[in-house]
Amino acid sequence: MPTYCFRNEKTGQVIERVFDMAGVPQIIKEGGKVFERDFQSEHVGAPPTKGWPIECIASGVHPNQADELRSHFRKNGLNIPVTRDGNPVYADANQRRKGLKCRNLMDKASYI
């Protein structure tokens, strides 16, 4: 069941509650306070659909392999930075495509 957000206008406090989709109230009362459904808070955690550069956690490596990944990119003529945590940081979609291809990785939900 989905989680929904509710905000108290006086205090600004946001609470989350789980409801089935057919039974989501617009207002709930809890602890003597009134909370109204807050659609904006429900979408805060969604990642942006656009915006480069991106740190790609999915194609990252263990932190102790970060130097090895940097070397692999350099050896293949790619200038892709790798964070201390082992995640590549792609400047644009083209660089991401090349970075994944040089590692024989495939993004089935993308164009690679």
Domain assignments of the chain as residue spans, ordered by start: 3-42, 54-102
Backbone angles phi, psi at 66, to 5 degrees: -60, -45
Token representation of residue 6: 């509710």
Q: Please, which residues bridge with residue 57 across strands? A: none
pLDDT of 46 reads 52
Mutual orientation of helices 66-75 and 93-102 as an angle, nearest 10°? 100
pLDDT of 112 reads 45
**For residues 54 and 92, is the Cβ–Cβ distance under 8 A?**
no
pLDDT of 22 reads 86
Task: Determine the Cα–Cα distance for residues 78 and 75; give it in Å rounded to an integer.
Answer: 8
Read off the pTM.
0.54
CA 14, 5, 36 angle in degrees (round to 5)? 75
pLDDT of 66 reads 95
| Tens digit of each residue's pLDDT, the chain (112 residues) | 788 999 999 999 999 999 988 889 999 999 999 999 998 888 765 555 567 899 999 899 999 999 999 999 999 999 999 999 999 999 988 899 999 999 999 887 665 4
